[in-house]
Amino acid sequence: MSAESYLSRGVSPTKDEVKAAVKNQDKGVFPGAFAKLIPDIAGDPEYCTAIHADGAGTKSSVAYLMFKETGSYEWFKGLAQDSLVMNTDDLACVGAYKNMSLSNTIGRNAHRVDGKAIAKIIEGYDEMVAKLADLGINITMCGGETADVGDLVRTLIVDSTIVARAKRSDIINAANIQPGDVIVGLASFGQATYETSYNSGISSNGLTAARHLLLSKYYYENFGESYSETIPEAKAYCGKFRLTDNLPGSEQTVGEAILSPTRTFLPVISQALDNYRGSIDGIIHCTGGGQGKCKDFGKGIRYIKDNLFEMPPIFKAIYESGDIPMKEMFQVFNCGHRIEFYVSSEEAAAGIIAIASKFNIDARIVGHTESTGTDANEVVIRYGSEEFTY
């Protein structure tokens, strides 16, 4: 099934065209790993290197809208965390999370996004790097680039690139996911001990859909710079909320919920690897592709997810917009958990759940794996009374 609600707004949740474009590229020294790994840049045969790039995506458009509505530059700060975590937590999935080096790239339309906004983004990077250092995760800021590209960018793009080295013997390779594994999911919502406020769980995927499905035509009529003119009018800002409206079922406003900074799971992942590395066959970051992301890893695996978290309010509101079917929700959004551990023992599963609990992060066994009996993979999601197969 194609994710029509997302595709009609110019975005692919599964990135099939991108996958086709890179299918003949070298797969690195650990084919099938969650992130590509290459020979060590320092030349040490016992190590490998990961160079990873990602960003806050169209979440920056919401920060711009919140700034225009409230006059506060603070909304730009969280974009740095979004951009950073989308890289760090991908790399953590292969076990490369120590002594990382960061470079950031900001592309802006200087007529709309001024120097005070840029200063807040840089401040956000500094604060997040300091917070991670307090948690035992070291990142070195290596500078970056701020480009005024108003001919290309309507408002703002915030991207990051991270370089990390890791011992080859420490790598977690998702190609090793096997039938019989238990899937432990870490909640994307709530308030972790290292977070200063409640996190809606939205993270930085599916923001084009979230923005247009939740926000009202007011933004279409007043902020044309915040969306692409290639989106049909009927698909642009077709929700019922203003950013300052209360999100149903939540103490957050809609704007606060959409802009909840992407949670990092590095403290949990690092301790899980320290204690249960031998039982962890793979770690998956449910970002682009949502709960179907795991389908790209392993061979002949049926991923059965039949004990998912109840959808947090932000996802319920998106679904209740009426424009996106439940099957597509799981393709586009994490829908409540964003990191999955694939473990070969119940003891390891219980241990990882206990580690998450120390950080006030809900965790549970969300499913298991079976053999498909072929080389193909399959994802089966059971939620409520419905079942969806991908």
Tokens encoding 337: 């958990």
pLDDT band at 27 (very low <50, low <70, confident <90, very high): confident
**Cross-strand pairs, 105:** 145, 159
The pLDDT value given to residue 9: 62
Mean per-residue pLDDT, 155-180:
98
Q: Beta-carbon neighbour count of residue 248 at 10 Å?
A: 12
Residue 28 belongs to what H/E stretch?
none
Mean per-residue pLDDT, 140-147:
96
The pLDDT value given to residue 1: 38
Cα–Cα distance between 19 and 24 in angstroms, integer? Answer: 9
Tokens encoding 298: 């392993």
Give the chain's domains with CATH numbers.
Answer: 4-389 (3.90.650.10)
**Nearest partner of 205 among 106, 107, 318, judged by Cα:** 318
Tokens 């899980």 belong to residue: 272
pLDDT of 168 over the 80 cut: yes
Residue 156 belongs to what H/E stretch?
strand 156-167
pLDDT band at 13 (very low <50, low <70, confident <90, very high): low
* Greater model confidence, 338 or 11: 338
pLDDT band at 14 (very low <50, low <70, confident <90, very high): low
The pLDDT value given to residue 19: 57
Among the ranges given (17-26, 163-172, 182-191), the one the predictor scored with the smallest mean pLDDT: 17-26
Mean per-residue pLDDT, 250-270:
98
Residue 63 belongs to what H/E stretch?
helix 59-70
**Starting from the edge strand earliest in sequence, which strands make up the sheet with 47-55, in order?**
38-39, 47-55, 156-167, 100-108, 139-148
Tokens encoding 65: 């809208």
Per-residue pLDDT tens over the stretch 275-287: 999 999 999 999 9
Share of the chain above pLDDT 70, in %: 94
pLDDT of 271 over the 60 cut: yes
Q: Could you tell me the CA-to-CA distances from 108 to 46, 113, 162, 208 in Å, in that order?
A: 41, 6, 21, 18
Cα–Cα distance between 24 and 93 in angstroms, integer? Answer: 23
Per-residue pLDDT tens over the stretch 95-137: 999 999 999 999 999 999 999 999 999 999 999 999 999 999 9
Cβ within 8 Å of residue 321, ≥6 positions away: 213, 214, 238, 239, 240
Per-residue pLDDT tens over the stretch 294-318: 999 999 999 999 999 999 999 999 9
Mean per-residue pLDDT, 181-210:
97
pLDDT of 72 over the 90 cut: yes
The pLDDT value given to residue 25: 75
**Cross-strand pairs, 48:** 39, 166
pLDDT of 152 over the 90 cut: yes
The pLDDT value given to residue 270: 97
How would you class 358 by CB atoms within 10 Å of its CB: exposed for 0-12, middle for 13-18, buried for 19 or more? exposed
Tokens encoding 78: 């969280």
Mean per-residue pLDDT, 329-355:
97
Q: Beta-carbon neighbour count of residue 193 at 10 Å?
A: 10
Please tell me whether residue 307 adopts helix, strand or coil conformation. Answer: coil
Measured in Å, how far apart are the chain's first and last C-alpha atoms?
Answer: 8
The pLDDT value given to residue 20: 72
Cα–Cα distance between 62 and 215 in angstroms, integer? Answer: 10
pLDDT of 290 over the 70 cut: yes
pLDDT of 11 over the 80 cut: no
**Nearest partner of 44 among 170, 167, 197, 200, judged by Cα:** 167
Task: Tell whether pTM > 0.85.
Answer: yes
